[in-house]
Structure 1
Amino acid sequence: MRKAGPLTVDLGKRGAEADHAVEALLARVGDRVRRAREARHIPRRVLSEMSGVSPRYLAQLETGEGNISIGLLTKVACALDLSVERLVGADDPWSSEVLRVSELFRRADRGMQARVLALLEAQAPEGARAQRVCLVGLRGAGKSTLGRLAGEALGVPFLELNAEIARIGGMPVAEIMALYGAEGYRELEAEALEGVISAHERIVLAVGGGLVAESATYERVLERFHTVWVKAAPEEHMARVRAQGDLRPMAGQPEAMQQLRTILRAREVLYERAHAQLDTSGATLDESLAAMKALLADEGFLD
């Protein structure tokens, strides 16, 4: 019988070590996904809708049994507003110290939270937000109309990021999407955002509803703008879009309203990261504008 040589033994040992390393990685990633989801109070069902990864796969992932692909893991990371590196890296982003700070902040009253945020933001690079306001939310909430009117009333420039994207791309946004796809659009979106930041210390900006799903771009918005989530009831979102003459949301889609509710529910946790909220449900344009101006004044976003 032929004896195993040193090389064979060494390769077998390395193979066993590699298997162990893979098992440890899967367990670590699963534990971090679970803790990140629980820290954000996101049910697994909602995370499934946000990421496009099935609930069954998420359950396997969280228990360390899912040999998830890099692509699917990236979707989960984006839905949790984390980088893939934070899920797979050696350092634990959910250490007891980080979790304790997070829990103490969650329990604190709004006054204490505001003081903590102000202290942390004072240490942020270049002081960041200046007098920039960014309106986020689904189509039909009133971002563009309220942003333009508020800007006129307060003497502040107003821009729609889609207009900047079209200007940089040299063609309408619909053509950019058709020619370059979502990836090309997102690249131009990030470029346009940086241009606005560089050119304006004082601005009211309205962005597309899906920007919040782009983790890096949304982080940049939160860092460099005072953000306001302009929200409304799903029925009002749909009615306002149709009133503008855009029938696409209903065309050939009998379940369009349910889809809109699903999108809103999936993005809600991301929109809630905005620094303030303005609910325009059931309000007239004049009432919403007055509420927007009052909010900007009360929060001191343009001071």
Structure 2
Amino acid sequence: MSEITNFQGQTVSAETDVPADAQVAALIRSVGERVRRARELKGLPRRVVSELSGVSPRYLAQLEAGEGNISIGLLKRVAIALDHRIEWLVSEEDPWTSEVLKVADLYRASPAAVRARVLDLLEPEPPERLRARRICLIGLRGAGKSTLGALAGQRLGAPFVELNREIEDHVGMAVTEVMALYGQEGYRRLEAQAIDRIIATHDSLILAVAGGIVAEPDTYKTLLSRFHTIWIKAAPDEHMSRVRAQGDTRPMAGNPEAMEQLKSILQSRVTLYQRAEAMLDTSGKPLETSVQELLDLIRAHGFLDLG
């Protein structure tokens, strides 16, 4: 139900079953009372408002008494003289108690950056549009993210990017050097910056990220909100064998408990990986089967369709 509240605390119904003439009369009374109250609060004699607005004192008196059916043009002059916006006088909200009008005034007085943030909070874009056609493959090292991502990108005509390669190209050094020079914290900062660059420059791509990125709350939140995420999953022994097949013996070198550690890491991240929109288990499957299943999954979820 739409209502008009006057300064005596009375509420006037503005529903369609109320005669139009009665609604107009109620609005005129409400406007007149607001004009009078605003003038008195500012300590302005009616004569001064008349001089500022060009509206005669006699007509202002009629308006404040709820007897003057003032034109929009004249009401605009009165609003300016009282240093108020015209909608403040005719709004169905009580201007002295309404949070809506207060927020509107604060919004108008705010810098553009603040107004943009307010709009994002009040009217965020649909998740599908924010994610665009960006796909991110997550999962432990050795799951097959890079291999599957590159092949899927070729067949779908979408760019494929490895996040670590993007970092290396940007800073001009290998990730191992980045870690040695900046440490884990520095690497994570570069990782977050690289994701921001990718979001700004790509509306469509397949991205493969390092397995531990899901443990960085802010960065992972960005991935989940700005990418269609797919967990590429495999059995622990396959993770290990694939890494070793790539020539990386670090997981097993001098560490007989490497497999148990890998299982522990995987277990600790399961709930994080499960936040992805989709999951593909590559355990025990030929590469071509996994590629086809990834393509089918992407098409079935419409990840390359713009929402």
- TM-score clears 0.5: yes
Change (3 A) 1:124 1:298: closer
TM-score by length of structure 2 reads 0.58
1-structure distance, mates of 2:151, 2:129? 27
Equivalence map 1:71-220=2 (5 Å): 123-124=125-126, 127-220=129-222
Q: Once superposed, which parts of structure 1, at least 4 consecutive aligned residues long, lie more than 3 Å away?
A: 121-127
- Residue 126 of structure 1 deviates from its aligned partner by 9.4
In the other structure, the counterpart of 2:232 is 230
- Residue 135 of structure 1 deviates from its aligned partner by 0.1
Once superposed, what is the RMSD of the aligned Cα atoms? 1.7
Identity of aligned residues (%): 61
Instruction: Note the alpha carbon deviations across 1:71-95, whole angstroms, 9 max, x for none.
Output: xxxxxxxxxxxxxxxxxxxxxxxxx
Equivalence map 1:246-261=2 (5 Å): 246-261=248-263
2-structure distance, mates of 1:237, 1:157? 25
Instruction: Note the alpha carbon deviations across 1:103-128, whole angstroms, 9 max, x for none.
Output: xxxxxxxxxxxxxxxxxx97448931
1-structure distance, mates of 2:135, 2:124? 18
Change (3 A) 1:300 1:125: closer
Matching of residue 274 in structure 1 with residue 273 in structure 2: no
2-structure distance, mates of 1:156, 1:129? 15
Unaligned runs of 5+ in 1: 1-120
The answer (yes or no) to whether the contact 2:127–2:225 under 8 Å persists in 1 is: no
Instruction: Note the alpha carbon deviations across 1:240-293, whole angstroms, 9 max, x for none.
Output: 000000000000110000000000000110000000000000000000001000
The answer (yes or no) to whether the contact 1:168–1:188 under 8 Å persists in 2 is: no
Change (3 A) 1:259 1:208: same
- Residue 140 of structure 1 deviates from its aligned partner by 0.5
2-structure distance, mates of 1:139, 1:300? 26
2-structure distance, mates of 1:126, 1:139? 28
Report which of the two structures shows the higher radius of gyration computed on alpha carbons. 2
TM-score by length of structure 1 reads 0.59
How many residues of Structure 1 are paired with residues of Structure 2 in the alignment? 184
- Residue 302 of structure 1 deviates from its aligned partner by 0.7
In the other structure, the counterpart of 1:299 is 301
The residue type paired with residue 186 of structure 2 is G
The answer (yes or no) to whether the contact 1:133–1:225 under 8 Å persists in 2 is: yes
- Residue 170 of structure 1 deviates from its aligned partner by 1.6
- Residue 168 of structure 1 deviates from its aligned partner by 1.8
SS for the counterpart of 2:148 is helix
Unaligned runs of 5+ in 2: 1-122
- Residue 167 of structure 1 deviates from its aligned partner by 1.5
2-structure distance, mates of 1:122, 1:245? 46
- Residue 169 of structure 1 deviates from its aligned partner by 1.8
